[in-house]
Structure 1
């Protein structure tokens, strides 16, 4: 019985630690997966981390249970600070834009600075659902 309790506790701890991260920092190698290796999904391209809209994007990612990668063009690699923006792929025209990539092409985009507050959440949710 004692072994069973220990095993159950260990399983519960592993399940709690395995929570999925829906909104995470990605780097240029990750972007290549979308643009060269047929990975479909959402990319938030920014020129500065910590913008207010990021919390809204994160909230939509979690509520819709959809992965959204955030790519800072001035941090192309983990720990790197680039002097010039690194955007090696066509289709990413502006910063602070949420892109949907499918079949190695940008299929849709949403300018996250166009709205604020609950309206931003509503429009983001609509964009995500449109491309799921």
Structure 2
């Protein structure tokens, strides 16, 4: 079992093993870019984990799995052929670009307001 406690930096929660009180990693909450609800990212040290091989499992770089995923992207998950399925990283990139555009628009509006105020 695992418990959480606030980390010394106050920005994240530390994951602690209930059995040995060892540090397992951290949990980050409120990261809405690319993470579905509950908007959490778990960063667990791999040395804390036990990796067990299971029969029937496939490697992440399995050519068959990669071909199946590529075909799914080309066909779209539920839509027409050629639809694009957005990945979490793509969503994050889009979110960052939208944030930058919004910040630029706000800065431009502030510059215009300042120029208009100075003109009067």
Which interval holds the TM-score relative to the shorter structure? under 0.3
Scaled by the length of structure 1, what TM-score is found? Answer: 0.23
Larger Rg: 2
TM-score normalised by length of structure 2: 0.25
